[in-house]
Structure 1
Amino acid sequence: MDITQSSRLHFHMPSPTAEEKISLAASSTVYTYHCLCTHLLLATTTPLPSLPTREHSCDKAHIMPLPPPPTASTRAAKAELPRSDHYGLLLSTRLDAKPEMITSDEGFEKRYLQRCGRCNLVVGYQLDWQQFAGDRTGRREDLVFLLPGGFVSTSEMVMGKTPSQGSIGLVGVAEVKA
């Protein structure tokens, strides 16, 4: 049997349509999101629109819990960790070293900005512990606030969709600082 003859039909098959690609991706329970520049930034078991949002904030950011950072004890006792229905990870993002102070009519916030690793677009932020009751200081690592309109789901990206200008609703840092 000549392999070139048997494989020729395989290479002449048409590419799957966008709908077929989505149906293949829909069987997964992990939702992936990309930056507007198409760089993969987020993987989560909860769809982004299903996450709670900040109600008393100008940006209406989605609140995503983050897993605790791995330590030697958690690696050793991985089987003993409690199971959660939600798991989310930031991928290929860059955290600003210095926080930004955001002022508004309600007061101020100390934000550590999360940026796309490719195009540098601000896609989210983490708050400082000083803004919450307690004695802790520094960046709060258990939550990330994801800006609406900064992400495109993988299925939307495969279909060639981009967020419409009306739905982006991003609030720039310079606009809030005033």
Structure 2
Amino acid sequence: MLAESYHCVCGTLVLVLPGYANLAELPRRKAEGLQETPILVIKSDIDPQSAMLNSTLNKTAQVVRRPDGFEKRWLWRCNRCKIPWAYELKVEQESENDSTGRMMCLLVDSLTSTEALKRAADESGD
């Protein structure tokens, strides 16, 4: 099974994605006024498809104004440097077949893959 791991910009391991080769394989959030953002759909509090490490989920939501209204975002922050690297949304039920769940939107500018860190270390001679 493929697994990709990602670090915060400070170097702390924060995310492991088993079953994915990289963020490019994740679905994208497309919404008016937002840049396309890779998303993880979280099925339960303990999702075997992903692992959030060395991170804390804010207890209070950040309210963001959007062209179509407001959105509540719960930020995932690195425990070491406190920089947010993702945010969660609560997804409402749209039909009888759907279930209410959580969706994690990754802030890709705050993440660096383990492979990229290895390449940078090799290039610098460390």
State the TM bucket, normalised to the shorter chain: 0.7 to 0.9
Matched with 1:69 is 45
What stretches of structure 2 of length at least 5 have no aligned partner? 95-99, 122-126
CA distance 1:90–1:157, change in 2 (3 Å): same
Measured against aligned partners, the alpha-carbon deviations of 1:23-71 in whole angstroms (never above 9, x if no partner) come to xxxxx7211110111100110121211101111151422111335235x
Residues 39 and 105 in structure 2, CA contact (< 8 A), matched pair in contact too: yes
Measured against aligned partners, the alpha-carbon deviations of 1:103-126 in whole angstroms (never above 9, x if no partner) come to 022211011111111111111111
2:63 partner amino acid: M
* TM-score for both structures, normalised by structure 1: 0.56
1:41 partner amino acid: V
2:26 partner amino acid: L
- The root-mean-square deviation of aligned C-alpha atoms, in Å, is 2.3
Identical positions, percent: 26
What stretches of structure 1 of length at least 5 have no aligned partner? 1-27, 71-85, 135-139, 162-178
Residues 89 and 102 in structure 2, CA contact (< 8 A), matched pair in contact too: no
Question: Please, which of 39, 55, 59 is the counterpart of residue 30 of structure 2?
Answer: 55
Matched with 1:143 is 103
2:111 partner amino acid: F
Secondary structure class of the residue paired with 2:109 = coil
Q: Which has the higher helix share?
A: 1
Secondary structure class of the residue paired with 2:108 = coil
* TM-score for both structures, normalised by structure 2: 0.76
Matched with 1:94 is 56
d(CA) in 1 for partners of 2:101 and 2:87?
10
Matched with 1:42 is 15
CA distance 1:34–1:63, change in 2 (3 Å): same
